[in-house]
Structure formats: structure tokens, C-alpha cells
Amino acid sequence: MRVIRTASLKPITKKTIAVIGYGSQGRAQALNLRDAGIDPIIGLPSRSRSRRRAKTDGFTVTTTPRATRDADIILLLAPDHVHGVVFTSDIEPYLRDGQAIVVAHAASVHFETVTPPDNVDVIMVAPLGPGKRLRELRGERDGVSCFVAVHHDHSGDAMPLALALAKGIGCLPAGAIPTTFAHEAVGDLFGEQAVLCGGLGALLEAGVMTLIKHGFPPHAAYLECVYQLDLIIDLVKSEGLAGMYENISPTAAFGARRTGKRVISPAVRNAMDDVFADVDSGRFFRSWVRAGAQTTDRKQLAPTVAREFARGERDVLQQLGEEPASSD
């Protein structure tokens, strides 16, 4: 794997950058760019809930069409499922030759809800972490790294531009990892659905609810199945999966090896293939664009968690003095 840790900021220093959207990524990337000496303008709909926050942070806030007209580089950091509509109505009519469109996730370009013209660069700088961490750990070696990719190289300098942006938003020296739009679009969606968010969330909930069904109080079920997760993940990330098995107790290792395959059975692996096919074919993304068109409010989009699970979670986090982390 190639990891790029140094790059010149020069491709972006004398440019005007428009950040479209001021949520998790938009805010963190705009603030980090400003710390790097580049003051972006923010493009948002006139009724956006995010306008006040961007203004309070001291940015010039304007509409997306105006930001597009005024900028050289346009970071499209609105939610993925509205990229198509935003691009078609608020960006494309105002584009001019030689600008650059930048996304932080490749799905909308790869699955063609966004189809930019040939006379602009189309690149991706996709941080491997939420905006909050990108902001907190900007420029640190153990900070947030990113994928970089070029979809269309009109200028002939699209990759140096991607790397300059990676540096400007604080992902170097943690590292920029070159990839393709296809791999990032499909890999990111598959990973978050089957493993990191969907699969893991469902596994945790199923474990907790099994103990509750067999008479455990919710707080005890939560402590046994969820609470130590960060310690296990730390071990996996520092020692590898094999190292994790070596560092847990012999009882845990013996049980884990026998039981892991019972839970993640061949049926579950087949289901993962189905999930992959859904994502890879674009079926998932198209259905998300249709479903998500109703709202961009995360609270309305969030899945419901079983009531008993939530009770155990709340008890443990409150009693042990930890609040659930915010989502941004």
C-alpha cells in the first residue's frame, strides 16, 4: 500500500475554495483549511440550518450558485443522496472551464447521480474518519488519514491538487492513500453497512437482547456485550486480529474461536455477498437517493435501537460518568 505523507500546498494557496455544506465534514474541512491559511467561502441553501453556525465561525456564507461562480475549487460536502440535485440545479449551470469538483465520498460520481462536464477536474479526498476527529487531530501523524483519487484530470494536475487539499484539511502526515472512485464508492458503502455500522450495530443489539431475554438487567447486558468494545478494537488495530486472540484470556480465546463461526455462519457470509451485489450494482445507492430525498435531517434518518438496549446503554454511560459521543 502506498501512503503519501508530504505534499505541497501550492496548488491551493492562491485559489478560492467553496465548501458546499457545513455539517460534519464541511465544518471540519473549512476550519482546517483556514488554519492552513486558506479562507474558504461556504455555500448553503438560504434556508439551511447550518448557516448560523458557519457565520458564527466567521465564514462568508453565500448560496451554492454564487459560491460556485466565485470559486476555483468546489468541495461538495452536502449529503451524498442530494449531490445529484445540488449539482444539477446549483452547481453545473454556473461552472466554468478549469474549475475542480471535489467530493469526500465517491458514490455520487461513481453511480452517476453527478455527471460533471469534461472541462473540470473531478477528484476525491475522503477522510477516513468523522469531521470531529479530523478537526481535533489535524496535521497529526496519528490523526485522520484519507483516500485520494482522480476521476477526471482535465488540468493534468489533478493529483497534486488532491494532495494539496489532503494537506490543507489536515490529513497529512497521517497519510493519503491513492485509490479509485469505484473502490472507494463500493468499499466504503459495503464496509459501513456489512461491518462497521450496520453489521456491528445489529450484532451488539442482538447480543444485548439475548442476555436481556434470559433475565439479565439491561445495564449488565450492555456491560458484557458492548462496554469493552473499544479495548478489543484497540487490540485489533495495534496487534492485528491474531494478536487480539493472543492477548485476551485463554478462556475468551477458546470460546471465541469456537463461537465466532457459529454466529457468522455460512448464511451470514452469503448475506454479505448479497449486500455486496446490492452496493456494487448501484441498487443500494439509487434506493437511498429515493428514500433520503424526503429529508437530510440525521435524527429522522437514524435507525431505532431496541428500547431495552437503550436503557442499559443510558444507565451505564450515565452512572459511569460518560456521555454518548455526539455524531459529528
Ligand X SMILES: NC(=O)c1ccc[n+]([C@@H]2O[C@H](COP(=O)([O-])OP(=O)(O)OC[C@H]3O[C@@H](n4cnc5c(N)ncnc54)[C@H](OP(=O)(O)O)[C@@H]3O)[C@@H](O)[C@H]2O)c1
Q: Of the candidates 7, 12, 21, 244, which one interacts with ligand X according to CB under 6 A?
A: 21
Applying CB under 6 A, does 126 fall inside the site for ligand X? yes
**Would you mind telling me the total number of residues written for the chain in this entry?**
328
Task: State which residue, 286 or 314, has the beta carbon closest to ligand X.
Answer: 286
3-class SS of residue 105 = coil
Which positions are catalytic?
105
Question: How many CB atoms lie under 10 A from the CB of residue 150?
Answer: 17
* Shortest spacing between CB 146 and ligand X, in angstroms: 8
Nearest C-alpha neighbor of 17 from the set 168, 175, 176 = 168
| Whether 144 contacts 175, CB under 8 Å | no
**Continuous segment of H or E residues that includes residue 312:** helix 307-319
- Rule CB under 6 A: is residue 80 a binding residue for ligand X? yes
Q: Output the smallest distance, CB 26 to ligand X, in A.
A: 5
Q: How far is the CB of 54 from ligand X (least distance, A)?
A: 8
Interface residue with ligand X, options 26, 116, 175, 218 (CB under 6 A): 26
* Per-residue contact string for residues 191-220; x = within reach of ligand X by CB under 6 A: ------------------------------
* HEC string for 221-252: HHHHHCCCHHHHHHHHHHHHHHHHHHHCCHHH
* Pick 53 or 314: Cβ nearer ligand X: 53
Q: Which of 23, 168, 175, 312 binds ligand X (CB under 6 A)?
A: 23
Note whether 78 binds ligand X by CB under 6 A: yes
Report the greatest alpha carbon distance in the chain: 66
Report which DSSP code applies to 303.
P
44 scored as a contact of ligand X (CB under 6 A): yes
- Let me know: does 282 contact 111? Beta carbons within 8 Å: yes
When the beta carbons of 105 and 219 are compared against ligand X, the nearer one is 105
Per-residue CA distances from 42 to 89, 91, 140 (Å) = 17, 13, 25
- Smallest distance from ligand X to CB 328, Å: 6
Count other C-beta atoms under 10 Å from residue 77's C-beta.
27
Residue 300 Cβ vs ligand X, minimum distance, rounded to whole Å: 11
Under the criterion CB under 6 A, does residue 166 sit at the interface with ligand X?
Answer: no
The dihedral over CA atoms of 58, 63, 64, 70, expressed in degrees to the nearest 10, equals -70
Interface with ligand X includes 145 (CB under 6 A)? Answer: no
* Residue 272, number of CB atoms within 10 A of its CB: 15
Q: Determine which residue in the list 32, 48, 62, 68 makes contact with ligand X, applying CB under 6 A.
A: 48
Q: Does 86 bind ligand X (CB under 6 A)?
A: yes
| Least distance (Å) between residue 108 CB and ligand X | 7
Q: Which amino acid is at 39?
A: D
Find the part of the chain contacting ligand X (CB under 6 A) among 98-106, 167-175, 274-282, 306-314.
98-106
Do residues 64 and 77 make contact, with C-beta atoms less than 8 angstroms apart? no
- Binding-site ranges for ligand X (CB under 6 A): 20-26, 44-45, 48-50, 64, 77-80, 82, 86, 103-105, 126-127, 130-131, 296, 298
